[in-house]
Amino acid sequence: MQRLLKTEKMQEEKKIILLITYDNWGFNQYIADALEEKNYTVKHIDFHSFRYKYPSFFHKAFNFFTKNLGIANLKKNYYNQTILNEIKNLSTIDTSIYIKADFLSEKTIRAVNKKSQKSVLIISDSINRYPQTKNIISLFDKVFSFEKRDCKKYDLRFKTNFIYKTSNNTTSEYQYKVFNISSFDKRFPVIKKIAEALYKMKIKSKIIIFTSKENSEPYWEFSKKPLSIEENNQLLQESEIMLDVSRDGQDGLSFRVFESLGLKKKLITTNKDIVNYDFYDPENIFVIDNIDDIKIPTSFFETPYIDVPQNILSKYLIENWVNELVE
C-alpha cells in the first residue's frame, strides 16, 4: 500500500512539458521521447498533423486574397484555435517549448506562456527566411537559434541540431556510396552539379528529390511522395557517405550533418562553416569550396571513417541536447 501511494505521488509530481512544433519530418518527436525518458510528462502538439478543410470554395478563394494581403489567414487561425483548445485542460505547465512558432499569433503564445513557468523558443531556420519570427522573440524566456549570425544580430543563444540515432555497425557492403534526400527548391541546381560530378566519377549515388516533375536523368530519382523516417533510416544504413547541401544564407548545420555523426558516416557538404565545429575532421568531412569546379579526391571515398572522440560526440546526443531546454 505504501509503495502504491509513493508511486502515485511520484506520478503526480512529474513536471509537464508542452512541446509545440511543426513536425513535417517527424524529427521533433525525438525531443518529446528524450524528455519523457527524463521522467517528464510531455504533451506534443504537432500542428503539421492538423487538417483544415475549407467550408466552401468561397472560403478558399477568400483566404487566398486575405493571406496575401496580410489581413487574415483562415488556416493559421484554425491552427491557433486548435492549439488553444488543446491546452484548455492544462492548469499549469513547467516548460513550454516551441519550434516553428512564426505560424502562431501573439495571442496564442501569450495564452500558452501564461500557464507556463518557463517558455523556450527554438529557431531552426534563418530569420531572413521567416521574418515574422523576429516579432515574437521578446515573448519567450529563452530563445535558441541554429544560425550564428542571427544569434549575434538578435542576441540569441546558439544551439545546433541533435543526434537522434547512433550506430556502431560498420560494413564493407553498402548499396550506395553517396546518399541525399531533398525537396525540389533553390538548392536543386547545386544538387544537380554535385550529382553530375559524382556520376562522372563513377560513384554510385542514391539522390532523391521530392517533386511532381518527371525525370529523364540517371543522376537522381524524382519522388512524388516524401519518405518516412523509417524509410530514410533504411537508406542511411545502406549508404556509406552522406551528401548535405545547405540553403543560400544558411550557416546552421542540417540534420544530415548529425545523422552522419551518429551513424559514423563520412559527409560531403556545401556548408563552409562546418570547419569551425569541434567534430570537424577533414578525413571525415569534405567541404565543396567551388560548386562550379568540384574536385573530390578519390582517397576520400577509399579511406575509413575516423571516430569522433566520445566527449565531443556526447553533447550532441538528443538525451543530453534536451537538458538545456528545461534547466
Q: Sheet with 176-183: list strands edge to edge.
A: 221-223, 205-210, 176-183, 239-244, 266-269, 285-287
Answer whether CATH 3.40.50.80 is correct for domain 176-314. Answer: no
Q: Backbone dihedral region of 317: left (phi > 0), alpha (psi from -120 to 50 degrees) or beta?
A: beta
Which amino acid is it at 315?
K
How much is the pLDDT for 56?
A: 54
> Cα(146)–Cα(156) distance, rounded to whole angstroms?
10
Using alpha carbons, list the distances in angstroms from residue 110 to 137, 157, 264, 295.
12, 21, 42, 52
How much is the pLDDT for 62?
A: 47
How is the chain split into domains, by residue range? 16-159, 176-314
User: Tens digit of pLDDT per residue, the chain (327 long)?
Assistant: 555 444 444 455 789 999 999 887 788 999 999 999 999 999 999 977 765 465 555 555 544 545 554 555 767 888 899 999 999 999 999 999 999 899 899 999 999 999 999 999 999 999 999 999 999 999 999 999 999 999 999 999 999 999 998 987 666 689 999 999 988 888 999 999 999 999 999 999 999 998 988 877 888 889 888 788 788 888 988 999 999 999 888 889 999 999 999 999 999 999 999 999 999 999 999 999 999 999 999 999 999 999 999 999 999 999 999 999 998
Task: Cell numbers for 47, please give them.
Answer: 500542428
Q: What is the crossing angle of helices 74-86 and 57-68, to 10°?
A: 100
**Any idea what DSSP says for residue 302?**
H
Closest CA to 156 of 167, 139, 142: 142
How much is the pLDDT for 204?
A: 95
Burial class (CB in 10 A: 0-12, 13-18, 19+), 140: buried
pTM of the complete model: 0.86
Q: Backbone dihedral region of 283: left (phi > 0), alpha (psi from -120 to 50 degrees) or beta?
A: alpha
What distance lies between CA 122 and its chain's CA centroid? 11
Look up the CATH architecture of domain 16-159: 3-Layer(aba) Sandwich (3.40)
Which amino acid is it at 260?
S
> Cα(278)–Cα(50) distance, rounded to whole angstroms?
39
